[in-house]
Structure 1
């Protein structure tokens, strides 16, 4: 077996790689974070690196996706380039890989009911007269604090610690309690501090909130790109990796656990506290991420009838999952609804209190796998729409995630204008800019309702003629130029092609069809919906008008749209701070009626209609 040295710049990161592996695999071995939008399948052409030493001939796929001039300059795709000799690989500027992750959330008043409690007690000293055991005397001291003797219990590991702890603290100890179970024993009085972390584990990003479990105060917020993106950008690719790759599930689970532990360290450092002061962790995640986090094979989600292995809420020992917090710590897993409507949706519904609303509301979390819920306290229905990766920037010619360098909004003024995340030269467009651009093209009549570019001579709107210079040809079809090559950060033009519009039509068609099916299932009209709540990163950065113009959201609802931030994160926080909220999450999951779109009568025709644009 031959090995070759691969050096990654900047940073002089050296790794020895088995001959035949890809640069992508070398990056994984080196522990380098890199965004593979298509999961390394060679379809998006976005994982571009420059090979400065050891350059070989490009493969066919690279010749198809990369311009000849760039190939000559050593530009290659990390997922396609095979290591056959020693290489020096230059990665893009790391600052340009920083992702714009949504951490803000909308919250209301909350009565704190911690999942765990601390009780400081003085254990009566033993005597020759009573001969009571250490455990009996500890129980008696807890009974004095209101606990019921017959319900008190513990574990072997706690009983092993107990004799030394009681005597070492001169009979004054703090019992860490979960319900009536002693899960930890600490010397002296440690009741002043009890912290927890709530996590929203998304397919693309992970956000963690460090909380004071007594006051509910948020002490710090941390976030990261989900490192599982190295194994696949979307749920389906990770399902495939977990089920078919050797040790695939183990790799995915260990990757996310490692990311969680790094975020915990970052969070406590920001708040100037200690990791062993964290006693509870709550997890909201889609069903696939939920299963992978637990190390449960998610294969059943990928095949009909798409059922999860587990839907109930769970309370687990943090140590069992190798979550590095206090040894008494617990992990609270919110329940799933269905195979593709998971605990993150339950968290959103908990945060929005849809189950207690007098009015009918529509809740939408737009993404690769979009979740939609409709209802009130009377009833709730939900579905999952396979929107695909267009909103995340994959399969879009100039697309990228919402990272530094991405154009996030486009404006049709006297001339075309746009804003760039982080400022500076643009590198591509993210989903919100894609919506803005296409919505403008629709309103100006530059594309018709079927999404086809019209020739300049066919334009009837005089305002559309202002953008003559932006109307170009790409691969024999119409396209719309956003930024010329001379002003971009990589020297390539940024544009919207005919193929890009088709991708958007498919994505928005899936979401719109899901909304229409839920409205029909519920038995109401569009105008009966009192409010539209947009959750998640994409929903909070898009322009509602653009979303309605292209038909992603019914046009009649434009004035009823409200952004609610990272509602899944809010729900995870509520479940950690309030035991009653955590119990309510179970009721929500059980009472939501899941609608399988693929089985819905007329779905194909509804979807076809929803791919059209709203032309007034």
Structure 2
């Protein structure tokens, strides 16, 4: 078979150069060189966003270029990267407006730019066929070609086992995918533009996955599922117990987590129309228990003092090792944790907000069953965790439910009670944000006092009639009815009991006491705080005025409080798209000072104090 001509392409101003076969689309050559060029139309030649300046002999412009580029631009040498095929040695200048290397990642108050440099490279290779004059081994044949493109690789046994058959079946025209000097995939034909990654936030309640294009950084799809491990326990302690005491308990929990990741991947692929075998890199964040269970690491030590994990460093395994449906050799990278109950999810939060960018005193709080928080003060980061229990996720509350359609998520009490529900469905119960809202309003009206005691019906004579009628004597004490049974979607009344108030006090007291202890150990005061970042689904949907009213967060001015949504997921995406961000994550985890609250007398005193509700909190605007 005659050899195909090869031509050199130099990209300016980067100075990147590579050799490509004749007829290669310039946009594919750019992708192979690790340069992402804007192609909003998918390379169909209809948007004109991939404009580049080319020096050298080129074919005549096609109809799309003639339509989208002016005569002056064509005369100057501008072409469309998605239409021009390389037929000679050329030099290409990519204008700033045609580059898509800077991808803005947004998440409810977070705006981040990251330079897309995932480390994954796909190279279309047209190799010389073996002959009596060319008896090189197949791997050496491929590696020599890749070296001509500036890529050095080591043998990978699983790929090398079938390399001869793959090359011959593809007539020696293949696309090689490499990462960290490893050959991780070999595919027939030119698939160099098909390069994807998935970032996961493995939460104890919800698992979220983000599919991104590794060339451009563009998010292609998002999907989430309930963590199937919740069947075996809502909180981490329950799951640790299940893993350690039940026959094959750890294996069951690992399989549940892996099943969640696989189901999300299938949904993402279906939505975006991509092949999961073209997923070449995966990142995962989660609390330390979740990532241990995912990897099949023994969690027994997390269930007993001093709660030492087996691993805090980041770790990379193959998709094959976890039976995930991606390219078998694709790296699955779990970000570093900090301590037994301060995981890579908090590291992801810190990464997403450029935690150390200006040195200001900042507090980040991820509120959930296991609350994690970080304080940056005078250049040092202090972190801790607090077992808040499941109240903030609606569990353990008499009419509580997760934040799903029909959940009461907002409450206003004035002359009567006014509620809103998720998706405007008939009310089925109350979720965490609705619970905080309701209790904050009950404090303002006087239904609940600062000790958390709810008025009995006889004590409520001074309240408005409509409010007083909602206070009833329940089976275990007073109840406050939010929704009459005739108006609920269940046919039963939705109310808050005295026990519900106590559950909330325990949860908010634990979080607030942890914050107070963190600040006192760091020598910081509320006046020092430049901002409070509320992460996670609960932090995203809660009304900050209500959070301050019940004493969940420090009472600072409103503009200092920012809800940043699923910032852990944003951090996972940043680490997926940029190797430098992964290094930043390692440094954040390494430098953080972990405080074990259980051994600090201050925490116990703060817990007793913050179990109480504030007398009055007039939040300053």
TM-score of the alignment, normalized to the shorter chain, above 0.5: yes
Report the counterpart of residue 318 of structure 2 in structure 1.
Answer: 317
Three-state SS of the structure 1 residue aligned to 2:411 is strand
Is 1:116 aligned to residue 116 of structure 2?
Answer: no
Report the counterpart of residue 356 of structure 2 in structure 1. 355
1:354 alignment partner, SS class:
coil
Which residue is equivalent to 1:246? 247
Residues 103 and 221 in structure 1, CA contact (< 8 A), matched pair in contact too? no
Q: 1:576 to 1:105 in 2, by over 3 A?
A: farther
2:146 is aligned with 1:145: no
Residue equivalent to 1:440: 441
Aligned to 2:390: 389
Alignment of 1:537-552 (within 5 A): 537-552=537-552
* Cα distance between partner residues in 2 of 1:430 and 1:604: 28
Is the 2:177–2:183 Cα contact (8 Å) retained in structure 1? yes
Deviations 1:372-403 (A, max 9, x none): 11116811111101111111112211111111
Pairwise mapping of residues 564-603 of structure 1 onto structure 2 (< 5 A)? Answer: 564-603=564-603
Residue of structure 2 equivalent to 1:473: 473
Describe how 1:192-203 pairs up with structure 2 within 5 A. Answer: 192-203=193-204
Largest Rg, 1 or 2: 2
Give the conservation status (yes or no) of the 8 Å contact 2:159–2:183.
Answer: yes
| Distance apart, 1:409 and its partner CA | 0.8
Q: Contact 2:120/2:281 (CA < 8 Å) preserved in 1?
A: yes
TM-score (normalizing by structure 1): 0.80
Q: Which runs of 5+ in 2 are unaligned?
A: 1-105, 617-621
Distance in 2 of aligned mates of 1:335 and 1:580: 14
In 1, the alpha carbon distance for the partners of 2:354 and 2:300 equals: 32
Give me the whole-angstrom Cα distance separating, in 2, the residues matched to 1:477 and 1:182. Answer: 67
Label 1:362 to 1:112 Cα distance change in 2 as closer, same or farther (>3 A). same
**2:373 maps to which residue?**
372
Instruction: Call closer, same or farther: CA 1:260–1:377 in 2, change over 3 Å.
Output: farther
Q: Larger RCO: Structure 1 or Structure 2 (Cα < 8 Å, ≥ 6 residues apart)? A: 1
1-side partners of 2:387 and 2:158: how far apart? 46
**Aligned residues: CA RMSD:** 2.0
Quick check: 1:551–1:613 contact (8 Å CA) kept in 2?
A: yes
Which deviations, in whole Å up to 9, do the C-alpha atoms of 1:138-183 show, x marking residues without a partner? 22212211135xxx31222222222223333333322111121112
Preserved contact between residue 124 and residue 141 of structure 1 (Cα < 8 Å) = no
CA distance in 1, matches of 2:532, 2:109: 16
Is the counterpart of residue 405 in structure 1 residue 403 in structure 2?
Answer: no
* Aligned 1:197-212 pairs, distance under 5 A: 197-212=198-213
Deviations 1:443-494 (A, max 9, x none): 122221111123567569x776651112222236332111112221222211
Secondary structure at the counterpart of residue 612 of structure 1: coil
Offset, 1:206: 0.7
Number of equivalent positions: 511
Shift of 1:583: 2.0
1:297–1:379 Cα change, 3 Å: same
CA contact (8 A) 1:534 1:561 kept: yes
Secondary structure of the corresponding residue to residue 555 of structure 1: coil
Question: Is the 8 Å Cα contact of residues 356 and 376 (structure 1) preserved in structure 2?
Answer: no
Supply the distance in 2 between the matched residues of 1:300 and 1:455 (Cα, whole angstroms).
46
Confirm or deny: 8 A CA contact 1:355 1:379 kept in the other structure: no
CA distance in 1, matches of 2:359, 2:500: 41
Distance between the aligned counterparts of 2:406 and 2:120, measured in 1? Answer: 43
Helix, strand or coil: the match of 2:239? helix
Tell me if structure 2 keeps the 8 A contact 1:207–1:223.
yes
CA contact (8 A) 1:390 1:396 kept: yes
For residue 340 of structure 2, give the secondary structure of its aligned residue in structure 1.
coil
Listed one character per residue, the Cα deviations across residues 494-528 of structure 1 (whole Å, up to 9, x for unaligned) are 11111111111110000000110111121111111
CA contact (8 A) 1:105 1:569 kept: no
Measure the CA separation in 1 of the matches of 2:465 and 2:530: 39
Q: Cα 1:552–1:464, aligned 2, differ >3 Å: closer, same or farther?
A: farther
Cα drift, residue 541 of structure 1: 1.0
Distance in 2, matches of 1:396 and 1:196, equals: 39
CA contact 1:446–1:464 (8 Å) conserved in 2: no
Q: Per-residue deviation at 1:130?
A: 5.7
Which whole-Å CA distance do the structure 1 matches of 2:151 and 2:327 have between them?
23
Q: Conserved in 1, the CA contact under 8 Å of 2:377 and 2:522?
A: no
Alpha-carbon spacing, 1:517–1:279, altered in 2? closer, same or farther (3 Å): same
What secondary structure is seen at the aligned counterpart in 2 of 1:166?
helix
Q: State the Cα distance separating 1:126 from its structure 2 match.
A: 3.9
Counterpart position of 2:76: none
2:305 aligned with 1:304, yes or no? yes
User: Which residue of structure 1 lines up, in the alignment, with residue 258 of structure 2?
Assistant: 257
Q: Aligned equivalents of 2:228 and 2:111: distance in 1? A: 28
For residues 606 and 377 of structure 1, do their structure 2 counterparts lie closer, same or farther at Cα, with a shift above 3 Å needed?
Answer: closer
TM-score by length of structure 2 reads 0.79
C-alpha distance in 2, partners of 1:546/1:576? Answer: 36
